[in-house]
Amino acid sequence: MSRIEEIYVSTDIETDGPIPGVYSMLSLASAGFRPDGICIATFSANIEPLEGAKQDPETMSWWKKHPEAWDACTYLARPPDEVMKGYCNWVNSLSGHPVFVAYPAGFDFTFVYWYLIRYVGWSPFRFGALDIKTYAMAMLGKGYREISKRTMPRRWFGKHRHSHVALDDAIEQGLLFYNMLKENLKIRCPDIQG
């Protein structure tokens, strides 16, 4: 019996507030990575705001300071049901078991899961999400609040910059996770090549 590999679905979202339902997810992007770090597929879509939803003043104040990112996440927005059905089909098309990966997973997964349940009726990720910050905490042997991207080793980061454009950021954090995974496997299993 062969083992089906995991596909790490690095996901980033952009929103106009802190919680789903009251506020809207404006952009959703994922990059599917094999365990060897190869990005096999990407998904990106902008989403129309929920009917009757609000915009959080603090979040909107932040967006006013980042007009290019705002334009990128609101351009050609599509209805949420259309986007989420397409996203679910995309995740299901990946050749492996999908694992949701994000930084911070608690935020991104909350929105994605809520939208999947509302518009598709189920989640291909089930109830789980892998949080990059928590993974770093375990690898570095530090407390959760001691960990941030500023305190992580520079060797884990590639050349991609965090742009607040969902697809760019999904790819950036997917590569970050892969570098962490590769290093962790070498420490735990020194005979692993790569």
Alpha helices, DSSP H only, in the chain? 57-64, 67-74, 80-93, 105-119, 132-140, 166-188
At residue 19, what is the residue type?
Answer: I
pLDDT tens, residue by residue, 125-137: 999 999 999 999 9
- Determine the pLDDT at residue 159: 75
Of 158 and 66, the one with more pLDDT:
66
Q: Which 8-state DSSP code applies to residue 18? A: S
pLDDT tens, residue by residue, 84-111: 999 999 999 998 999 999 999 999 999 9
Per-residue confidence band for 191, with pLDDT thresholds at 50, 70 and 90:
low
Residue 187, pLDDT above cutoff 90: no
Domain 6-188: give its CATH code: 3.30.420.10
pTM for the whole thing?
0.91
- Determine the pLDDT at residue 93: 97
Residue 189, pLDDT above cutoff 80: no
- Determine the pLDDT at residue 60: 98
Which tokens in the block code for residue 107?
């935020």
pLDDT tens, residue by residue, 15-27: 999 999 999 999 9
Rounded distance between C-alpha atoms, residue 45 and residue 171, angstroms: 15
Q: What angle do CA 105, 4, 121 make, to 5 degrees?
A: 50
pLDDT tens, residue by residue, 135-155: 999 999 999 999 999 999 999
Comparing C-alpha atoms, which of 11, 6, 5 is closest to residue 171?
11
Q: What angle do CA 152, 155, 156 make, to 5 degrees?
A: 60
Q: Where are the domains of the chain?
A: 6-188
Which tokens in the block code for residue 29?
């992007």
